[in-house]
Structure 1
Amino acid sequence: MFIYLNMANELTTEKLEKAAYILKTVAHPLRLKVIELLGNTEKMSVGELCDVLACEQSLVSHHLNNMRLKGLLKAEKQGVQVFYSLKERELLGLLACIEKCNCNM
């Protein structure tokens, strides 16, 4: 099934490039789960994320730092802990699209 965009809703090259940048950044199951988790709460510490994701701190920190450097997350240091939050809550729309997708995978 093809969906045709009406010319008034045409995606600009700039929007498509930004979308590709974001999609490349989140193209990992752990990163998508981080977005989901941070969408359900204001902020979470690295330790809290590690516990929920059942992953090593070094792996989670690597993904969080990458997402922060690319502008998707905010990091706030409080003492020895770092708390992460979504910089743009619109990222949650990606998860909604994924949930609705009926791809035969």
Structure 2
Amino acid sequence: MTEASTDLDMQTMRDAASATASLLRTLGNPDRLLLLCQLSQGERAVGELEELVGLRQPSLSQQLAVLRNEGLVQTRRDGKRIFYRIAEPRLLVLLGTLYQLYCPQDEAPPAAG
């Protein structure tokens, strides 16, 4: 490998690391993570999200704005209702992995032995 291609690979890796760190900072907020977990199950109206996650409107709006600004969610208006959905397919894979690793599973207790 030439020095130029090594520099290019390193720059690509730096860019990817920066984008990933930004995503992880966004996911680092428990309210935003809960919102994304709900949206991973499908499109939801703002009122549904408020009820499911237990956030009041001002805080909910603030967290949804962060997710929109980061390009993680998209909106759709139907009359007066606004619906949110996951915008980035790779995010669904990440959320699925986090669920498998950290969310309680209905598993049989270990056999006594």
Q: TM-score range by the shorter chain?
A: 0.7 to 0.9
Structure ranking higher on relative contact order (CA contacts 8 Å, 6+ apart)? 1
Unaligned runs of 5+ in 1: 1-9
For residues 99 and 28 of structure 1, do their structure 2 counterparts lie closer, same or farther at Cα, with a shift above 3 Å needed? farther
What TM-score do you get using the length of structure 2 for normalisation? 0.71
Partner residue of 2:32?
Answer: 31
- Measured in 1, the distance between the counterparts of 2:16 and 2:83 equals 29
Match of 2:13 in 1: 12
Larger radius of gyration: 2
Gaps of 5+ in 2: 1-9, 103-113
1:3 aligned residue: none
TM-score (norm 1): 0.76
How many residues end up aligned between the 2 structures? 91
Runs of 4 or more, structure 1, over 6 Å off, are none
1:24-103 correspondence runs (5 A): 24-41=25-42, 43-95=43-95, 96-97=97-98, 99-100=100-101
State the superposition RMSD in angstroms: 2.0
